[in-house]
Structure 1
Amino acid sequence: MPDTAATSIDLARLRQSADQAGRLLKALGNPERLLLLCLLAQQECHVGGLEARLGIVQPTLSQQLAVLRREGLVDCRRDGKQIYYRISSREALAVIQTLYQLFCTEGAE
């Protein structure tokens, strides 16, 4: 007969992991946030650079960066008047790298 205590502990851990994965996937579900994370996976970037490269207007960019910060996916630092962002979540970085390999490399369909 299976050990129900071990099964419930594993199920609890699985539920917690599923919740974390769901939050990450929800954050990645927005194309603008996905593009932001793709750029930040390459290097840290300041807000003006993100705005120029993506063509996202500043209010929208700020809103999307706030979501990524709230979810713990990016960190920011200030250098004078510039605010720089970088990916802070190893899970988000791993997912972005996998998505890049699947969809953005030569031979990807």
Structure 2
Amino acid sequence: MPLSAMREKTEAVADFLKGLANPQRLLMLCALAQGEKTVGELIAQTGIAPTSMSQHLAKLKAEGIVGVRREHRNLHYAISHAAVLEVMAVLAAHFCQASDG
């Protein structure tokens, strides 16, 4: 792909990366990379306060990074953007492995 064509996509890519560029959102995405979770499960696994969780989930949903489905009274969140799963796998391989040290 020529650089001129790439330039057109840089804004969208930068916005996508901004959606990921937050420690709490990355922690939430690490949990969601393991599978669909309810808000309660995300709170229990991450320790993020409910109000903060709600704000971050709203941003991730607005960015198209996560999707939600309702089952009775529970909202179930899952990663909905295939690139996010790939990015999370790369980040895990580089930053989440136990050191040999």
Q: Could you tell me the TM-score, scaled by structure 1's length? A: 0.84
The alignment yields a C-alpha RMSD, in angstroms, of 1.9
Q: Which residue, out of 22, 34, 42, partners 1:30?
A: 22
CA spacing shift, 1:108–1:44, aligned 2, 3 Å: farther
Q: Which residue of 1 aligns with 2:90?
A: 98
Q: CA deviation at 1:27?
A: 1.2
Identity over aligned residues, as a percent? 39
Find the residue that maps to 2:33 and give its secondary structure: helix
Do the aligned residues in 2 keep the contact of 1:41 with 1:96 (CA within 8 Å)? yes
1:4-23 paired onto structure 2 within 5 Å: 11=4, 13-23=5-15
Match for 1:70: what amino acid? A
Q: Over alpha carbons, which structure has the higher Rg?
A: 1
Q: CA deviation at 1:106?
A: 3.3
Q: Which residue of 2 aligns with 1:59?
A: 51
Q: CA deviation at 1:66?
A: 0.5
Q: Which residue of 2 aligns with 1:48?
A: 40
Match for 1:52: what amino acid? A
Distance 1:72 1:53 in 2: 22
Do the aligned residues in 2 keep the contact of 1:101 with 1:108 (CA within 8 Å)? no
Distance 2:52 2:76 in 1: 17
Find the residue that maps to 1:78 and give its secondary structure: strand
Query: For structure 2, which runs of at least 5 residues remain unmatched after alignment?
Result: none
Q: Could you tell me the TM-score, scaled by structure 2's length? A: 0.90
CA spacing shift, 1:108–1:72, aligned 2, 3 Å: farther
Q: CA deviation at 1:17?
A: 2.4
